[in-house]
Chains A and B, each alone.
Chain A
């Protein structure tokens, strides 16, 4: 069964450092998303991406965040200067369109 894969599974970084989280969406999917889940809280939408551009973003997704699809398979989330409150599980998801969102297993980010 096709799946969304994410790397790394866990990253520890110092406050102020840049972090890049990587995702390989399901190959025939056209829509890509990042969500995050702070420990013990609900899953929150960050950004959606279609046709090589951001289609929607939340108020959480400020100038410190960016997304990119550098090639035909990867979809990345970059945090330029991490803050303590960026510590969370980050989930990548993809969808074919009008259908199910498939989530990856997540990348846990710990900012010290």
Chain B
């Protein structure tokens, strides 16, 4: 089955700095790569996603890059703010037929942004 590795497990930055979280996956058939933010006591919330026909996607301070050849993708947060502090999960799916919603998650990264 699919195996997703996420690094680092914890990341501490100063407000205004950039944060980068990386994930690698094993199944070359995977084609959907979302990133989720989980705040304490809440469910995962999608913050950005990318599909395999695109190499990069940006939404304001958040961007995701995908390297399908190397089977890795990264989340980039610029100008970090204290409210960005949360656990971030990458996920991978082979979106097609009934498998669309079967996401394989990474281990999570605890991001702390210090004021």
Q: What residues make up the interface of A, taking CB atoms closer than 8 Å to B? A: 4, 31, 33, 35, 41-45, 48, 50, 55-56, 58, 91, 93, 95, 97-98, 100-106
Whether the pair A103, B98 counts as a contact (CB closer than 8 A) is: no
Known: A41-B107, A43-B105. 15 other contacts (CB 8 A): A42-B89, A42-B108, A43-B89, A45-B104, A55-B98, A56-B98, A91-B44, A98-B100, A100-B34, A100-B46, A101-B46, A101-B101, A103-B36, A103-B43, A105-B43
- Size of B's binding interface in residues, CB under 8 A: 23
Smallest CB separation, B54 vs chain A (Å): 15
Chain B residues whose C-beta falls within 8 Å of the C-beta of A4 in the assembled complex: 43
Asked if B95 is at the interface of the complex by the 8 Å CB criterion, the answer is yes
Complex A-B: 10 CB contacts under 8 Å: A41-B107, A42-B108, A43-B89, A45-B101, A45-B102, A45-B104, A48-B101, A98-B95, A102-B46, A104-B43
Q: What residues make up the interface of B, taking CB atoms closer than 8 Å to A? A: 34, 36, 41-46, 49, 89, 91, 95, 98-108
Whether the pair B98, A91 counts as a contact (CB closer than 8 A) is: no
Instruction: Give the nearest-CB partner of A33 in chain B.
Output: B101
